[in-house]
Amino acid sequence: MIIGLTGSIGTGKTTTANIFKELGAVIIDADEIAKGIVKPQSLAWQEIINTFGNIVCNSDLTINRQYLGELIFNDTASRERLNQITHPLILEEINKQIQEQNNKIIIIDAPLLIEAGVHWIVDKIIVVITTRDTQIKRLKLRNFLSDLQIEARRDSQLPLEIKIERADYIVDNNGNILETTKQIKRIWEELIKHDETKTSK
């Protein structure tokens, strides 16, 4: 059974994924895959250099993700071009990792699950939500972002309201970790029931 886990920046997807992992889920982290496919001399790395120039590289030739992020979050055309380069390769690697698993509940942790078209391969979608104020507070504490930087990142993703419309389950992450964990455990129990039903058919 394949589950898509998404939300907006700062809503707590990583925390949610870690709790699911503790419960027994296999986690496929799209962000980690995205980092892996742009290693120096890789196909995606070369296309990024060709598109944006050597200025997006660090001295060790790795991609300067912070610089590239600032560039694409403030320019729709650049963001779309980067997505064209990376999204097909990310999806290819996700499918590869799915095939390596057997009889497991797999959760794809992907902030751009819907934007990248990954939602077509999942059985259920979980959306992690918080209030806008909570998002901003967390991002300032965690990433030391300014209000303008936060808004640029929020604007680069689908509005949370649209993701909620696609959701089979919602995790309200405005409370403390215990409250969030209770919600996740309830969802996990339902997923196990669905998986058992699906497997028995």
How does strand 106-109 pair with strand 169-172? unpaired
Residues 6+ apart with CB under 8 A from 68: 48, 52, 56, 82
Asked if 11 and 135 count as a contact pair (C-beta separation under 8 A), the reply is yes
The three-class DSSP label of residue 131 is coil
15 annotated to a ligand binding site: yes
Mean pLDDT, consecutive 10-residue segments, the chain of 201 residues? 91 94 95 94 95 94 90 88 93 93 90 84 94 84 76 80 93 94 96 75 58
Q: Which residues of 162-189 are buried (b: 16+ CB within 10 A; e: fewer)?
A: ebeeebbbbbebeeeeeebbebbeebbe
Residue-wise DSSP of 23-42:
HT-EEEEHHHHHHHTTSTTS
φ and ψ at residue 5, rounded to 5 degrees = -115, 120
Among 28, 33, 35, residue whose Cα is nearest residue 65: 35
11 annotated to a ligand binding site: yes
Query: What pLDDT was estimated at residue 60?
Result: 95
Query: What pLDDT was estimated at residue 198?
Result: 65
13 annotated to a ligand binding site: yes
Q: Kindly list the strands in the beta sheet with 106-109, ordered across the sheet, starting from the edge strand earlier in the chain.
A: 26-29, 106-109, 2-7, 124-129, 169-172
The single-letter DSSP state of residue 9 is T
φ and ψ at residue 105, rounded to 5 degrees = -85, 120
69 annotated to a ligand binding site: no
How does strand 26-29 pair with strand 124-129? unpaired
The three-class DSSP label of residue 159 is coil
Tell me which CATH code domain 2-196 carries. Answer: 3.40.50.300
Query: What pLDDT was estimated at residue 160?
Result: 86
10 annotated to a ligand binding site: yes
- For residue 14, the number of C-alpha atoms closer than 13 Å in the C-beta half-sphere is 7
Structural domain boundaries of the chain?
2-196
The pTM of this model reads 0.88
Residue 3 CB neighbour total at 10 angstroms: 26
